[in-house]
Amino acid sequence: MHDWWPLAISWGLMGLEMPAISIVIGHLPQAEIMLAAFGGIAFPLGLIVESPIIMMLAASTALSRNYDQFLKLQHFMTIVSIGLTILHAALAFTPLWTWAVIPLLDIPTEVQEPSRLAFAWLLPWTWAIADRRFRQGMLIHFGRREVIAYGTGIRLLATVGMLILLAQLGVMGAVVATASLSTGVIVEAAYVRIRSRPVVAGPLKSAPASDQPLRLTKLLRFYVPLALTPMLVLAAQPIGAAGMTRMPDALASLAVWAPLGGIIFLVRSVGIAYNEVVIRLTSKEGSGPVLRRFAWIAGLIFSGVMLVISLTPLAGIWFQQIVGLKPELAQLGVSVLWLGAPIPLMTFLQSFYQGVLVDHHRTRPVTESVVIYLGITILGLGSGILHGGWVGLIVAITTYTIANSGQTLWLYIRARDLLRTP
């Protein structure tokens, strides 16, 4: 699995960002409000805006195989990024925030302005992430996976450095978080762009042209289902925030959501990296059973890690002593963390089945699986709102775990005819 390790390291380093941010914000003034503004509102909303370009990595890994296809995909990426950046600016800097975002998410009064300012500082995100992921896909295809890990390491250093600097300057906690995130992705995008130039000028330009040129209609048929996948998945984040604000202990749930999500993402992140490995290797003879076995073994190991953290004093150390949450908030986080233990296993299996489908250019089932995920999420959160007696955080994490299981099952059903047997 030498193809997986550099990407796993990259996602693992990326997974350290949210815990680092939670730690810093947790020790700044108005920690509960700032964690709610960042982790409950600004960050999920930023993710949904940039979600259409997240699958640019998978698309570029599959399609950037010669210079002509690279240029066409780059042009497509640029147009989409500009449109999404304009949307982001409209939400952050126009009355749309007051007219649409606040009532839609039912944002608590004390969180409204901090979350808007934090969201505004995420403006550079979309283009930087799109350009970085587009070039990373090309680098993966040409075997330069180590660049991905180095780039993420540089990004983490830039993010943490900016976190410390802005915290020392007394900047509002939620803005500290998003300004640092934006700085990190811009630095990483610049690094990846510089490191990709020799590959573009060398192996990419010398690669033979495809017998079937990449036309816009073909690109859209391939990419739109892929783009819908993270859009629908990440739509669950603001939907989750909107649900928690309508259930008991809304502010507490929003405040704990960031450090809870951070530790879950850190443990599951290496499973996300497995998707590109499967896309690259699944067409090789005899690779199917090996890739499937690795997904199960690695997934069970990392779910076991999550379970150990949640059922030992490590969870309390994380929420209270490291993040700095108040005892009652820390206890809330500890009490629900175990509910997310199956998610790392589900992540590895999703990456495996999704990679098989993408390699065969069957992207529609991927979208179908996410529709199921979103449907279960809406149903679960809606049930919590109607019941009226359940704490929002408990409903949200339970719902997301069940939704991940449903998504994984559907991907298996749609990919099983493609899976090779020993």
User: Distance (Å, rounded) from C-alpha 163 to C-alpha 159?
Assistant: 6
What would the pLDDT profile of 15-33 be if each residue is shown by its tens digit?
788 888 988 998 999 998 9
CA dihedral 371, 377, 381, 384 (to 10 degrees): 120
Q: For position 366, what pLDDT does the model report?
A: 85
DSSP 283: T
User: Distance (Å, rounded) from C-alpha 25 to C-alpha 167?
Assistant: 8
pTM for the predicted model, two decimal places: 0.79
Give the residues of the chain that fall short of pLDDT 70. Answer: 1-8, 11, 420-422
Element (H, E) at 216: helix 216-244
What residue type is assigned to position 371 of the chain?
A: V
Distances (CA, A) of 215 to 70, 89, 209: 12, 31, 13
Q: For position 235, what pLDDT does the model report?
A: 74
Q: For position 2, what pLDDT does the model report?
A: 57
User: Distance (Å, rounded) from C-alpha 407 to C-alpha 402?
Assistant: 9
Q: For position 408, what pLDDT does the model report?
A: 96
Give, rounded to a whole angstrom, the gap between the first and last alpha carbons of the chain.
18
User: Distance (Å, rounded) from C-alpha 369 to C-alpha 233?
Assistant: 10
DSSP 203: I
Angle at 270 between CA 268 and CA 276, to 5 degrees: 120
For residue 147, how many other CB atoms are within 10 A of its CB?
20
Q: Is 41 exposed, middle or buried (0-12, 13-18, 19+ CB in 10 A)?
A: buried
**Are the beta carbons of 143 and 65 closer than 8 angstroms?**
no
* Residue 173, CB-side half-sphere exposure with 13 Å CA sphere: 23
User: Distance (Å, rounded) from C-alpha 279 to C-alpha 355?
Assistant: 5
Distances (CA, A) of 421 to 288, 290, 416: 7, 10, 10
Can you read off the two tokens belonging to residue 102?
């606040």
Angle at 377 between CA 376 and CA 378, to 5 degrees: 95
Q: For position 149, what pLDDT does the model report?
A: 83
Q: Quick one: angle between helices 109-120 and 173-199, nearest 10?
A: 20
User: Distance (Å, rounded) from C-alpha 2 to C-alpha 376?
Assistant: 36
User: Distance (Å, rounded) from C-alpha 176 to C-alpha 181?
Assistant: 9
Q: For position 303, what pLDDT does the model report?
A: 97
Report which of 361, 372, 377, 371 is spatially closest to residue 415, judged by C-alpha positions. Answer: 361
